[in-house]
Structure 1
Amino acid sequence: MQRPALALAAVLCCAAACDAPEAAGTLHTFTSDAAGFDTHSFYYDTGREVVVFDAQFTEPLAQALVDDIRAHTDSPIRYVVITHPNPDKFNGVGPLRAAGATIVASDATAAAIPGVHAYKRAAFIANGTFTEDTYPPEATVDLTFADTLQLDLLGDATIELQVLANPGVSSTQTVAHIPAIDALIVGDLVHHDVHAWLEGGIVDGAPRPDLTAWSAALDELRAWGDVTVHGGRGASAPVELAVAAQQDYLRGMDEVVREYVAGVDDPDAFTGDAAAGHYAAITEAARAAFPERGLDYLITYGVYGLVASLSE
């Protein structure tokens, strides 16, 4: 089950600077429209160079990201860090590489990209969102690392990349710490104030959600101390608030989906003609459980992975 055809309409983007002093550099936020799944790409401008975190779902969206960077700084784009192997994080690497960036990802993320790309390409072509000719080409990575990597930038700026012990929203998760502004970039590990994509990581050609591991990955974020967490969707938040709220959400959604699945006698109902109705009902239950959270379409189109894992 995938999100149906979405017109690549005008990009809704914001460039919101953090409150950090200019000497420490500035973190900006670019946000796609729903055609790109309301995905944040953050970019850190040191005043001398730019590091981008996550590359957007399509090349046109990535080009809009490049244009947004150019509207705010003349600093060269040096790196793009892919936080995890989901297509809204890596599909758009082409325009960023063309702008001069080196594409960086962990060994685990780089190894997962081909399988995720093949799975998602087939699914999006099957549901009519893309054709064989229009789906983005498979992303490649220029620089990989095993567990940790420090990006030494011009001047005294540094960015510390760390692969978490637990996979989180996908099959592997990298976070990026920017010490100068006490920022922690965590990709879709955190969806603060909005619903989350509950498909799970694509492993061996199938979704494999693990909410227990996701919660454990969130616990790991506390090791960075008093930082602001910047997630792949929704608002940024202090680490304790972000972790606690996301863990509460995961527990709540596990209960919502388990209860719904238990009430359906035929497990094939989630893949047959009645599937859309069931996913709409689960979305409504999620909306009732978490009325303050936005982007509930992420449940409608992403919860199939969690449903499948609970109905096996």
Structure 2
Amino acid sequence: MAKAFASQADLDEKTETFTELADGVYCLTAQGDPNSGVIVGDDGVMVIDARATPAMAGDLMRHVRTVTDKPVRHVVLTHYHAVRVLGASGYGADEVIASDETYDLIKERGAQDMASEIQRFPRLFKDVSSIPGLTWPSIVFHDRMVVWMGKREVHIVHAGRGHTKGDSVVWLPKEKVLFSGDLVEYGATPYCGDAYFTDWPSTLDRLLPFGADKMVPGRGEALTSAAQIGEGVAQTRAFLTDLTAVVKEGVAAGHDLKRVYAMAMERLSPAYGHWVIFQHCMPFNVSRCFDEMSGITHPRIWTAERDVEMWAALND
């Protein structure tokens, strides 16, 4: 029997948990599904990562309304992937904030990524017809910006290239809470289809000096101690390092992509095969790493057609 494509067979609904990390600072986690953040300021709310559809934004807002009746003023996009951004219209926010590199990615490949992700993981795109189109930021920053939500200070920082070239983190210096986006995962497989393997470890190096007491990863439970944060960063780094090593070895030996994929699955499955979306991510991860180790610096655009062709070639 052919292996189901990506996550099309993943139909089990996950239990959502809305957790307060500090006074007025929350995260929504869902057993390895994409996480979102919520910050309540003096006169409004900030949502970090908008979810995949306006209908799913409505699910998040039902949690928000249990703690505040203030309007959503800001939506922050930590990166451009459809599952993180296409729900933005559901909040009625005054502004949508993203790095300039994320804006460039939306412009270059946002439409292709939208079609690709909806095809790969239909469960995450609840009521897909509610999406009005691509999400475009209304405020674009280069390196970092500070948003004052009344007396609450929020830093939005373009951390560097890693999961994508536009990855941003959100930092609350007083509360010492860091939202890492998909730069860090916890018990979940990093998706690397748009990654920069050479740069990602050094981008991770920029996260620990924030000195966070709590961190919300892109997937997985909230990290609520310095030790757990260190573990999450170390796990992410180890996965990237191990995958890069085996792919580099295969490329140096002149192996084709299919053989390198088989090598990677054999060597990484014992340590990481139990992580969420491992089977989904690995074909895309190895394909991108193979390109980078072969000298293709910038990720090629994934289209719905390329997804299917690659999957069939590696899993026949």
- CA drift at 1:55: 0.8
Q: How does 1:1-312 map to 2 (within 5 A)?
A: 3-5=6-8, 10=13, 12-18=15-21, 20=22, 25-31=23-29, 38-46=33-41, 48-96=43-91, 98=92, 100-124=93-117, 134=129, 136=131, 137-154=133-150, 156-164=151-159, 166-200=160-194, 209-237=195-223, 238=226, 239-258=229-248, 265-267=255-257, 269=258, 282-283=264-265, 285-290=267-272, 293-300=275-282, 302-303=284-285, 304-310=287-293
Cα displacement string for residues 31-70 of structure 1 (whole angstroms, at most 9, x for unaligned residues):
3577xxx100011224653211101122322221222212
Which amino acid in structure 1 is aligned with residue 188 of structure 2? V
What secondary structure, in the 3-state scheme, does the structure 1 residue paired with 2:171 have?
strand
**For residues 33 and 56 of structure 1, do their structure 2 counterparts lie closer, same or farther at Cα, with a shift above 3 Å needed?**
farther
Unaligned 5+ segments in structure 1 are 201-208, 271-277
Q: Which has the higher contact order (CA 8 A, sep 6+)?
A: 2
Which amino acid in structure 1 is aligned with residue 85 of structure 2? F
Between the aligned partners of 1:2 and 1:306, the Cα distance in structure 2 is 20
What secondary structure, in the 3-state scheme, does the structure 2 residue paired with 1:118 have?
helix
- CA drift at 1:146: 2.0
Between the aligned partners of 1:32 and 1:114, the Cα distance in structure 2 is 30
Which amino acid in structure 2 is aligned with residue 113 of structure 1? I
**For residues 72 and 2 of structure 1, do their structure 2 counterparts lie closer, same or farther at Cα, with a shift above 3 Å needed?**
farther
Between the aligned partners of 1:234 and 1:33, the Cα distance in structure 2 is 6
Between the aligned partners of 1:280 and 1:101, the Cα distance in structure 2 is 48
Aligned length: 282
- Identical-pair percentage: 23
**Is contact 2:82-2:117 (8 Å) kept?**
no
- CA drift at 1:260: 6.3
Between the aligned partners of 1:7 and 1:235, the Cα distance in structure 2 is 19
Which amino acid in structure 2 is aligned with residue 218 of structure 1? L
Between the aligned partners of 1:124 and 1:241, the Cα distance in structure 2 is 29
What secondary structure, in the 3-state scheme, does the structure 1 residue paired with 2:26 have?
strand
Between the aligned partners of 1:32 and 1:41, the Cα distance in structure 2 is 10
Between the aligned partners of 2:120 and 2:52, the Cα distance in structure 1 is 16
Which amino acid in structure 1 is aligned with residue 19 of structure 2? A
Which amino acid in structure 1 is aligned with residue 197 of structure 2? L
**Is contact 1:283-1:299 (8 Å) kept?**
no
Between the aligned partners of 1:187 and 1:163, the Cα distance in structure 2 is 11
Paired residue for 1:203? none
TM-score (norm 1): 0.76
Superposition RMSD in Å:
3.3
**Is contact 1:11-1:64 (8 Å) kept?**
no
Cα displacement string for residues 218-258 of structure 1 (whole angstroms, at most 9, x for unaligned residues):
11113312442221112333344433332222112223444
Question: Mean Cα displacement is larger for which, 210-219 or 230-239?
Answer: 230-239
